[in-house]
Structure 1
Amino acid sequence: MTNVFRLFGEGDDLYAEMVRSIRTATQRISLASYILAADEVGTDLLDEMMKKSRQGLDVRIHVDALGSSGVLPRQLRHQLRAAGIRLQRFHRWSWRQPMRYNRRDHRKLLVVDGKTAYLGGFNIHRQGSRRFYGPKRWRDMHVCIHGALASEADALFNAFWSGDLQWNPDSHTVGDSRIIPNTTRSCRTQLRCTIIDQLAGASESIWLVTPYFVPDRGLRKQLISASRRGVDVRILTTQKTDSAPAQWAARAMYAELLEHDVRIFEYTPRLLHSKVLLVDDALASIGTANFDYRSLFINYELTLVSGNRALNGLLREEFVSDLREANEITDRAWKNRGFMKGAYDALGLLLRKWL
């Protein structure tokens, strides 16, 4: 089965294409977003969705209650429902189930008519837009999928919407690609297991892009093992961050990896928010999951794993381009950073499972 992919590295291009897809919808529109903000970006998209709902289309929006807290006001939620849109807010605070509040819906997925799907790191907010946020907009990646795989994305949305949070398609691969959640009934850590298999099978290169780099011991072991057998292992993370403790935790792990010739780079121009893994020339992953405890063990995520040569080539080009604007962390410089920075890193490490 043939899947057609289009890669987006600019939010303005992505949001405009999403609006165009919504305008062409004839049956249903399904949107999941961790952050859905009632700003210049969000209102434009939501206005189009309300128009389609008033025309009789089935329009559903699934937002994370915490992620969209404060940016999707109650008045707008009433307007959406008044327009006929079905809106769910995932895991609202409950005194009866306080621990579930820690498990967030971190997915970013738009599916139109079961034929077109958008998946990746971009939230629906002005921070992804050069037009509204300026040159310091977040650096992110998203992919548009046309073909049979979009139908699988539609099924994944439907299952989650109906409360089956661990549903996984029976047909694991469509053509050369598949979309996987991180938690299924058969495996509580499916995404982590998939990543470990990918890292263990690498023979030439492992290139990872993540804003929050807090791997558990097993993943660090796989990265080190790959480097020892001659694989080119490069980690591209962000210098600018919206979570200082997460960055402390990441930096606490640099020394061990640098000691085993894993190369680490920090992207400097703006906040890097992409989530991409490239293994050799054959396999790529792009989606919503960070390389940390929260994405791999706690939150709900979606990741596209693809052997599509054209898509993988584009992702590799983006990686090389971003690397030109990153500072490489060297072992010597890292060892001479000073006591206080090391103390912050140690604190972040203690909090790593809760960041």
Structure 2
Amino acid sequence: MIDWILNNKWTCLLIINYIIALSAAFFLIRSNQNPRKTLSSLLFLVAFPFVGLGIYYFFGLEYRKSKIFKRKDLTAHDLVKQWNNRLHLSDEKLIEYENDFLEDRIKLVKLLNHNQAAVLTLKNDLKVLINGQATFNSIFKDLDQAKDHIHLEYFIITDDRIGNAFIDKLIAARKRDVEVKLIYDSVGSSLSRNAKQKMEQAGIEFHAFMPVIFSNVTRKANYRNHRKICIIDGHIGYLGGVNISDDYVNDPENRSKTYWRDTHLRIEGHAVKSMQVQWLLNWYFVCDHIKEETDLIIPDSYFPEIDESKNKPVQIAASGPDTDWANIMEAIFMAITTAEKSIKITTPYFIPNEAILTALKSAARSDVKVEIMVPKDGDSWAARYASRSYFREILESGAKIYWYHRGMLHAKTMVVDEEFATIGTSNMDYRSFDINFEINALIFDDHISEELNEQFEEDLSHCEKIILEKWLKRSKWNKIKESFCRLWAPLL
């Protein structure tokens, strides 16, 4: 027997592989996931020995309700519920506002308002920031004026030139006795030992989100904190597409030499309190030393009284594998299906799930002007071709697609009917909708919508419009690559 095994090692390995694959397939089917994602995982389990198991291990497992995200218990924390309840608006109050400014968006507001972590806030002032330099200039100025606390949560923070300048601002704030706490993603970020020592010596608290040793060989690498949050003194907040890295600053000296087009948002007002709640949830999760809810003390200064004169309505929508509902995806879906005139989308990765794809095609066929802008050459080969596999059916529905060719289009925005907009961290893809932790601002304001529309028109000057007739004539080899990558779409 031993001799046979030694002489048939490859056969034995294949048998072991398919025994494990059958077990994985059983649990995959029993989990009742999205059928398309299930079929994609099953295909690779059967067709690609060993590799298929790896793909399933990294991408096929579903943790939305797993104990790995036990931080959800914090939503029952009395202090957090207290602050949520202060912001919460009853359905009766929303009906009053419906006639004033919400109009056709009332369904969207109610969808998330029933989840008290995404309440509608009214007293807010907003500023759209275009590209990294404008974003960093604004953040640095506010960091210099911080008085009580600075709370940060970033997918990417790198100790390059802009990263070190950012860290220096945090250290300077700490010397003024400002509390500084940072959550950084273990896979996305790259902080040297020297940078960590500098922050630690300055008294800055920092924790990695779901830390990994080898990010490419662990299942935890699949569930990342993709958020970019900066909260200053509980009343100023930033979110959007800009990470802390030189790549986001269009400086000729940057190593990438790539123009980076991004959009960020500065919020001053009550919406920052919703951001603070989301930050607290993740802070509780990453702090291993906090074992009981009684160990977490939330100072009143985290939720200060705010007398903001501007009145821009904002909802903060957050989602991740720990939430019962795909909040951001559902909000985008509702906005698309209730559109009457126009939809403008900018996204670096366009790999829509069936719900979003159907909503976009239905909107276009019902005479809603649908325009989608994506980068011509993104930073992921597989995502690029998977995205292109959707072009034909989108174009045939009457929607327009533009290739941004000036550089990397990283902005994540959508404007509907020139009266609703969203800016945030969520891409238009499976990973953002189902796998990563994301956060978006939903904005019910004509002026912000107009500003984003103007930026969309400006970006069009750096775009190439995709013409259906020409697109159908692309090479067969490209079509094969698109079809192959589309199989991976639910896993990318």
Out of 101, 104, 128, the position equivalent to 2:221 is: 101
Out of 35, 40, 51, the position equivalent to 2:156 is: 35
Residues 1:136 and 1:100: Cα distance change in structure 2 (over 3 Å): closer
- Measure, in 2, the Cα distance between the counterparts of 1:22 and 1:176: 25
- Aligned CA RMSD, in angstroms, stands at 2.0
- Measure, in 2, the Cα distance between the counterparts of 1:175 and 1:281: 15
CA contact (8 A) 1:116 1:150 kept: yes
What are the Cα deviations for residues 209-263 of structure 1, in whole angstroms up to 9, with x where unaligned? 1000000111110001101110001110001211111010000111111111111
- Measure, in 2, the Cα distance between the counterparts of 1:13 and 1:183: 29
- Measure, in 2, the Cα distance between the counterparts of 1:90 and 1:158: 13
- The two structures have a TM-score, normalised by structure 1, of 0.92
Residues 1:67 and 1:185: Cα distance change in structure 2 (over 3 Å): closer
Matching residue's letter, 1:121 = G
**Percent of matched pairs sharing the same residue:** 27
Match of 2:176 in 1: 55
Structure 2: segments with no counterpart, 5+ residues? 1-121, 287-310
CA contact (8 A) 1:184 1:190 kept: no
Written as runs of structure 1 = structure 2, the 5 A alignment for 1:13-162 is: 13-68=134-189, 71-93=190-212, 98-131=218-251, 132-133=253-254, 136-162=258-284
- Measure, in 2, the Cα distance between the counterparts of 1:184 and 1:248: 26
- Measure, in 2, the Cα distance between the counterparts of 1:110 and 1:263: 35
Matching residue's letter, 1:30 = H
State yes or no: 1:10 paired with 2:147: no
Look up the SS of the partner of 1:66 in the other structure: coil
Match of 1:215 in 2: 352
- Measure, in 2, the Cα distance between the counterparts of 1:102 and 1:151: 29
Match of 1:170 in 2: none
C-alpha deviation, 1:85, in angstroms = 0.6
Look up the SS of the partner of 2:177 in the other structure: coil
- Measure, in 1, the Cα distance between the counterparts of 2:229 and 2:370: 29
What are the Cα deviations for residues 118-148 of structure 1, in whole angstroms up to 9, with x where unaligned? 1100111111112353973310000100111
What are the Cα deviations for residues 20-73 of structure 1, in whole angstroms up to 9, with x where unaligned? 1111011100111111011111110110101212332210111110001xx311
- Measure, in 2, the Cα distance between the counterparts of 1:13 and 1:196: 31
Matching residue's letter, 2:327 = Q
- Measure, in 2, the Cα distance between the counterparts of 1:55 and 1:324: 46
Match of 2:364 in 1: 227
Residues 1:330 and 1:143: Cα distance change in structure 2 (over 3 Å): same
CA contact (8 A) 2:386 2:482 kept: yes
Look up the SS of the partner of 2:285 in the other structure: coil
C-alpha deviation, 1:186, in angstroms = 6.4
- Measure, in 1, the Cα distance between the counterparts of 2:182 and 2:381: 31
CA contact (8 A) 1:211 1:272 kept: yes
Look up the SS of the partner of 1:157 in the other structure: helix
Count, aligned residues: 344
What are the Cα deviations for residues 180-211 of structure 1, in whole angstroms up to 9, with x where unaligned? 10248763311111111111100101111100
- Measure, in 2, the Cα distance between the counterparts of 1:189 and 1:77: 34
Look up the SS of the partner of 1:163 in the other structure: helix
Look up the SS of the partner of 2:260 in the other structure: coil
C-alpha deviation, 1:353, in angstroms = 2.1
What are the Cα deviations for residues 163-187 of structure 1, in whole angstroms up to 9, with x where unaligned? 29xxxxxxxxx95111110248763
CA contact (8 A) 1:29 1:113 kept: yes
Look up the SS of the partner of 2:261 in the other structure: coil
Query: Hey, which of these two has a bigger chunk of helix by percent?
Result: 2
Matching residue's letter, 2:225 = D
- The two structures have a TM-score, normalised by structure 2, of 0.67
Matching residue's letter, 1:160 = N
Out of 316, 332, 338, the position equivalent to 1:195 is: 332
- Measure, in 1, the Cα distance between the counterparts of 2:485 and 2:245: 28
- Measure, in 2, the Cα distance between the counterparts of 1:177 and 1:301: 16
Structure 1: segments with no counterpart, 5+ residues? 165-173
- Measure, in 2, the Cα distance between the counterparts of 1:93 and 1:184: 18
CA contact (8 A) 2:223 2:321 kept: no
CA contact (8 A) 2:312 2:443 kept: no
Residues 1:124 and 1:255: Cα distance change in structure 2 (over 3 Å): same
Look up the SS of the partner of 1:124 in the other structure: coil
- Measure, in 2, the Cα distance between the counterparts of 1:10 and 1:121: 9
Q: In terms of Rg, which structure is larger?
A: 2
Is the deviation greater in 133-142 or in 39-48? Answer: 133-142
What are the Cα deviations for residues 312-343 of structure 1, in whole angstroms up to 9, with x where unaligned? 11111111111121111111111111111111
